Each structure stands twice: as C-alpha cells, then as structure tokens.
Amino acid sequence: MGLEAVCTLMLGRRMGFLSTNAEQPEKIKQLAGAVKQLFISQRDSYYGLGLWKYFPTKTYREFAKAEDTIYDVISEMVDKALEDNNANFMHHDDDLRSVFLNILEIKDLDIRDKKSAIIDFIAAGIETLANTLLFVLSSVTSNPAVITRILEEFREYRSTLILQDAFTNATYTKACIQESYRIRPTAFCLARILEEDMQLSGYNLKAGTVVLCQNMIACHKDNNFKEAKTFRPERWIDKEGNFSVNIESSTIVVPFGIGKRTCPGKRFVEMEIVLLLAKLLLAFDVSFTKPLETEFEFLLAPKTPLSLVLRDRVF
C-alpha cells in the first residue's frame, strides 16, 4: 500500500500493488523486500565493532545488495515513465501529473540527481507509510467507540471521493492518528550529530558524537502524559473541540523529525493516512487475528507478518 501510494505521487502511475486481478510484478516484490532489508542492515550496522567500515561484512554486503536493487528497479520505473510520458498516466490533466515527472523534465538538472531524489523519496515512503497505517489501525480497531466517531466524520463519503473539507474537519480522526504517533511512532527516535562539545547528565560528549533521542520512551512516561500507556485521542482536542498539537509535552511527539531534518514527505503522509484510514473503515469492519507486536528494524515495524480480517461494513 505504501509503495502504491508513493509511486502514484512520484511517477503519476499505479503500480498494480493493490490489484486483485493480476500477480504482482516480480521486480516490485524485489523492491519492497530490498527496502525492508535496507532498514534491517542499517539497524545491524549501528551495533557491535563496526567491522563493515574496514571490510565487506555480511551486513555490508546485504546493505549494498539492497541499495543496488532499489536503484535498479526505481531507475527502470523512472525511465519507463519518461518514455511513456502521458500515455499511461491515470489522468491526462496536467494538474494531476506527478510532481517529480515535472522535475525530471527540467533540463538544467543532471538525470542522476533527479533519480536520486526520487529513489530517496520512494525508498523512505514504502515502509513508513504502511507501518504507520498498521499502527493506527491496531489502536483504533480495539475500541468500537473510537471507530464510531471516525465513521461519523466520513459517513457521507461512503460512495464518493473524500473532499478537502472532510479532511479539514476530521478532528477526531486526526487526534487518533496523533495519539498513535505518540504511542507507537514508526520513526521512534531522533538521531543528531553534535556540532560542539557538550555535557549531558554528567557525560562529556564530544563534537561529532551521534546522539539518539528516544522520544517514544519519553512519550510513555506518566510525568509527560497523563495515563501515558492508554490510547486517549481526546488529549489532542482542545476546549473548543478543535484538533491541536499544542498541549503539554507535545514537543516530544515528533514522528517526522524536527527542524531542518523534518521529513519532506510529512504533508503527503499526514493526508494519506487520514484518507486510507477513512476509506478502509468506511468499506470494512477491520480486526486483527492477534495482537500487533513490534520490533526494531531501524524503524519500528511489525514483528511478524500480520493477518487482518476484513468484513463488509454494514451501516
């Protein structure tokens, strides 16, 4: 789902990842697997002696292979999109063409720079979007009252496109997503390289030290959030009934990073999660066959393959 959404935005075409009428292209499966392996290899390289810096260890070889696969597959997709130009787009309206196809046509940029930008965006968006949606679904489907309130915000869009007004007014849905970010963020820590020496909790840290800020742990502490382990979307709704992130300790909920390193896909993901969640819940009664467990794969990810039960929604 993440791959389908990101590629539609970047390349202006559907990849068939959600199609029920055809088998998934082998290269698309390879791409999804390579992105997952990329994050696992990054995780493994963080710990131990770091021998990969001196000779090609198993972790390094797996990382390099994943990088090569990602570059090759996405490069082929980009080349194909350029060749086809408007022929195979979902829409022929210029306003609906993908942003990056317009960038690719800028002659002053080297094609390698253009491809690198697209590759980074697609690779970063596949796992993060899909995992975030799963975490949100896991949180909201465990409480029928939460589902009811989300459906109330989108009930009139059961058989139509969800319009901007619905997105703007989806107060409770946005609060549910923000609360899921707090409890189970896909990117659960911030990594920064110190620009100068500093002392922190009695430790002397030199400039150039990599510091990981464990935001998720802080979000689970009761001194930062009342009933921190409890899923309470209402904490993100102010007295006027509006969605607000300006509450006490809200600055530690930063699923997209902060400052100059904020995720460039933030706005896309925020809108996509609302739309995907609304459409799924309008169409189906969703339940998990077993509790969702997570593990560290550089990003937070499901520990095992998940099985979901989808029953047609009856209003």
Please name the residue that has the structure tokens 């997209």. 256
> How many CB atoms sit inside 10 A of residue 46's CB?
13
Indicate the burial class of 244 (C-beta count within 10 angstroms; 0-12, 13-18, 19 or more): middle
Quick one: CA dihedral 310, 151, 229, 191, positive or negative? positive
Q: What is the DSSP string of 213-231?
A: E-HHHHHT-TTTSTTTTS-
Q: Are 233 and 146 in contact (CB under 8 A)?
A: yes
The strand ranges marked E within 14-136 are none
The DSSP call for residue 25 is P
- Joined together, the tokens standing for residue 174 give 């946005």
Q: Are 135 and 186 in contact (CB under 8 A)?
A: yes
The DSSP call for residue 261 is G
Rounded to the nearest 10 degrees, what angle do helices 111-140 and 2-11 cross at?
140
CA-CA distance, 72 to 60, in Å (whole number)?
Answer: 18
Alpha-carbon torsion angle 195, 196, 197, 198, nearest 10: -80
Residues 6 or more apart whose CB falls under 8 angstroms from that of 93 comprise: none
176 is in an annotated binding site: no
Mark the binding-site residues, compressed into ranges: 263
Residues annotated within the binding site for heme are 263
